[in-house]
């Protein structure tokens, strides 16, 4: 993955026009936090934060929610998203990879040049983040772009523990680095935004390939809610943002 930051690109798209579909996957089952996608987050359903951000991006042609759940579909529509179909239950399981909800959406709505996958568990991601990634897609011509954020716990200083409790470096070379400022920057997927060209994803059946670009988002907007701890941290960050 090659990494780019929002500051590297302006709003130029070189006159290229893409018909973009935004897909927000929101299945009904959630074991870590029951009914997570419609649980109130800072006063409104978690799902609605992503819908609101997507609807503000002018380059997105349609914003849809892909769900297997009737209640989620009703809430999604009330907040301005389309729900043109219900996702089959076999594509809404814990082990179902995100790309399959996207592929299913393209089967139902094939007339799009590119697709954005926007996870509802990233409520701090903004319309500007989405628009910036789209600008990168237009400027670069890339088939695949994912949002990332810089890690603050570097893998060079991580270890595995063996049965005898001995520590073994997770990455080769980490023991030769003594200062944080000497470490190379490392990024992780933050789960907030995925972009793929339709023809590419239909052929590759994946969201990430050898030439995928990384769009850098700040850590404070990169929280991916999986646990109640994540939830509380995200609400704190949202409150701090509103205080500024």
Beta bridge partners of 114: 20, 197
**The pLDDT of residue 3:** 44
Rounded to 5 degrees, what are φ and ψ at 76? Answer: -60, -45
DSSP string across 20-78 = EEEEEE--S--SSSTTGGGSEETTEEHHHHHHHHHHT-TTEEEEEEEBS-HHHHHHHHH
Q: Which residue has the higher pLDDT, 205 or 3?
A: 205
Name the band, by pLDDT with cuts 50, 70 and 90, for residue 93: low
Angle at which helices 127-140 and 46-55 cross, to 10°: 50
Q: For 105-146, how does the pLDDT look when each residue is reduced to its tens digit (9 = 90+)?
A: 999 999 999 999 999 999 999 999 999 999 999 999 999 999
Give start and end residues of each alpha helix (H) in 40-197: 46-55, 70-78, 98-108, 127-140
What is the average pLDDT across 185-196?
Answer: 93
Rounded to 5 degrees, what are φ and ψ at 130? Answer: -65, -45
Q: Which residue has the higher pLDDT, 243 or 233?
A: 233
What is the pTM (predicted TM-score) of this model? 0.85
Say yes or no to pLDDT of 205 above 80: yes
**The pLDDT of residue 1:** 47
């Amino acid at each position: 993955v090659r990494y780019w930051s929002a500051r590297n690109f302006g709003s130029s798209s070189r006159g290229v026009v893409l018909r973009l579909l935004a897909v927000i996957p929101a299945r009904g089952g959630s074991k870590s936090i029951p009914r997570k996608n419609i649980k109130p987050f800072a006063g409104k359903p978690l799902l609605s934060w992503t819908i609101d951000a997507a609807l503000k991006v002018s380059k997105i042609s349609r914003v849809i929610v892909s769900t297997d759940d009737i209640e989620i579909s009703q809430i999604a529509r009330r907040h301005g998203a389309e729900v043109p179909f219900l996702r089959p239950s076999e594509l809404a399981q814990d082990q179902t990879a995100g790309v399959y909800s996207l592929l299913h959406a393209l089967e139902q709505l094939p007339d799009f040049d590119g697709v954005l996958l926007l996870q509802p568990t990233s409520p701090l991601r903004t319309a500007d983040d989405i628009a910036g990634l789209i600008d990168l897609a237009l400027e670069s011509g890339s088939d695949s772009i994912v949002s990332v954020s810089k890690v603050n716990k570097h893998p060079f200083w991580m270890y595995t523990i063996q049965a005898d409790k001995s520590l073994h470096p997770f990455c080769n070379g980490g023991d030769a680095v003594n200062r944080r400022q000497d470490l190379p920057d490392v990024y992780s997927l933050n789960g907030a935004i995925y972009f793929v060209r339709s023809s590419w994803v239909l052929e590759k059946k994946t969201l990430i390939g050898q030439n995928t670009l990384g769009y850098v988002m700040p850590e404070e907007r990169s929280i991916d809610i999986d646990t109640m701890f994540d939830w509380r941290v995200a609400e704190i960050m949202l409150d701090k943002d509103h205080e500024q």
